Structure 1
């Protein structure tokens, strides 16, 4: 039986059993404070310096925040208001778009935990939209008008990040253009207040499947990343940390395809979402990824320049997605399929 979306109005005084994670997968007692994301100013004049900053953040963390990104504040505000209004619609309006078909767009659904075969749910509802906007829900009335300028501006910011990442890696500026970045989608995520955030997650640990993800959120405190102790962060081992971004900034992270194309020089960032007891959180994640038939492989220039063999074998992005879904997005399992 399909679960009822959380935003449909049911009041939960406790966490229903289907949302409760096994003890070792719960978020309680696993966070070691907050962490300030590296800040990259995309509005600067020195592209070489900006490229170095992007590659440094990608190598050490896979996460950073961008300011002066070119997405107007009023465009961001209109898009967030429309997103919040969608989840506040009456249930019958939202359920017109409800589907468990992962290929359908637009698609409204509640979040099933993948990779286990168990009926354990994450504390999240989601509206999936195609980035090329062939269709969107007709309510709320301002959604379509907000989506077009927001999507165009965010994808332009993502393209600038990809061009600068290419420069910082020593590749041609256009390396990521064309079919390698021709696909994409937007997840509009909604995390209602949770009666006991210690027992469940909004989204489980995963790396994003594409090249780069650009995130906007209405309130902070939900995104966490797995911080590795082998970078400038210091310390040893790994720990989950809360990720904070400045007001008006966009959060950027690299996905599996960037790690492969860079031959391991840039990190695909593992992250998750936790829930909160008091306030609902809404976030918009815009994914840029290859077209399904695109062949993905380490850049030859990087392999030859380093005098090392490719760490990953070539594959089509469609093949990768089948693996990603089958493995539930679990980083180690997915990467094991890609390595030589």
Structure 2
């Protein structure tokens, strides 16, 4: 059995049934495939075209859009990441795009200089259109996830309005890689129409995943694992690209001050010491934990970039 496919048009026909199946698929695989997700194909194609156009530029031109000490967190970067717990650098080029950063945010002063590509003026508009569509699609998929968690379907509606979510068009050259890793964020949207993505499910079986026409992939990250006490645990995944591979990834984060702690029907579950993954924050004397999104991201980013 491969990664399950869901048609989001089915949600309103049977919300509870859809939510149960959606959550169980997330629980087993950590990934789902979605059609009728609400993002127009033309928007995806425009962003894909812009991504390929940028990556075709000479290296010295692309490097003008690096962000100095913030390289890898905003703007262009090449071979900049080492996966958590690994020692080998991932072989890829990527461009980190953010929105709605306050003036006091460390990246704010870099936005104009690294996101507006002089050599490709259509780049920023195409990417921001897709960014907005990913944000809207996130609110839609949070409805069945909320129901699965035992909460109102609209509970998360106001938890993303100040989000520091990030989008990344990525280029893997021949032999490009991303080491086996877990995503530190809440949810991840992924356009992956070429071979090279490998996902390990809850039982330890690895699946190669290629999205079909009109499909997007969606997977859970560490933050979702925290909210559900690992019921919806993040799945290990890696990239080993046999051919040049372009993809666009959207890393969803709730608002920076949102508190990550078990919610809904997972609120009173306490994991034993041998069940608690190493990304969980330290628990109090009652075995409970709570950490803001901002603090958790800083904690995990330091393990990737140092």
| TM-score interval for Structure 1 and Structure 2 normalised by the shorter chain | 0.7 to 0.9
Structure 1 vs Structure 2 CA RMSD: 2.5
* More deviation, 123-132/78-87: 123-132
Q: Secondary structure at the match of 2:207?
A: strand
Check whether the contact 1:41–1:50 (CA below 8 A) recurs between aligned residues: no
Q: Within the alignment, does 1:79 sit opposite 2:47 as a pair?
A: yes
Choose the corresponding residue for 1:113, options 45, 60, 82: 82
> Who is 1:153 aligned against?
133
CA distance in 2, matches of 1:155, 1:172: 19
Give distance in 2, aligned partners of 1:326 and 1:96. Answer: 25
1:253 aligns with 2:233: no
Once the two structures are TM-superposed, the CA of residue 180 in structure 1 deviates from its matched residue by 5.8
Of the candidates 309, 314, 322, which is equivalent to residue 270 of structure 2?
309
Partner of 2:248: 284
Report how many residues are paired: 274
Aligned ranges 1:84-103 → 2 under 5 Å: 84-99=52-67, 101-102=69-70
* 1:300 shift after superposition: 5.0
Instruction: Name stretches of at least 5 consecutive residues in structure 1 with no aligned partner.
Output: 1-34, 195-200, 230-237, 330-340
**Consecutive unaligned residues in structure 2, runs of 5 or more:** 102-110, 277-287
TM-score, normalisation: structure 1? 0.73
Deviations 1:124-172 (A, max 9, x none): 0111000449642324222123123212222211111112200122112
What is the aligned counterpart of 1:209 among 178, 184, 207? Answer: 184
- Once the two structures are superposed, residues 166-198 of structure 1 have per-residue CA deviations (whole angstroms, 9 ceiling, x without a partner) of 01221122333334672300111110113xxxx
How far 1:239 moved relative to its partner?
A: 3.8
Aligned mates of 2:184, 2:84 — CA distance in 1: 15
Q: What is the CA–CA distance in structure 1 between the aligned matches of 2:65 and 2:222, rounded to whole Å?
A: 29
Secondary structure of 1:94 counterpart: helix
Cα 1:147–1:114 shift into 2, 3 Å = closer
Contact kept in structure 2, 1:67 and 1:250, CA below 8 Å: yes
Contact residue 97 and residue 106 of structure 1 kept, 8 A: no
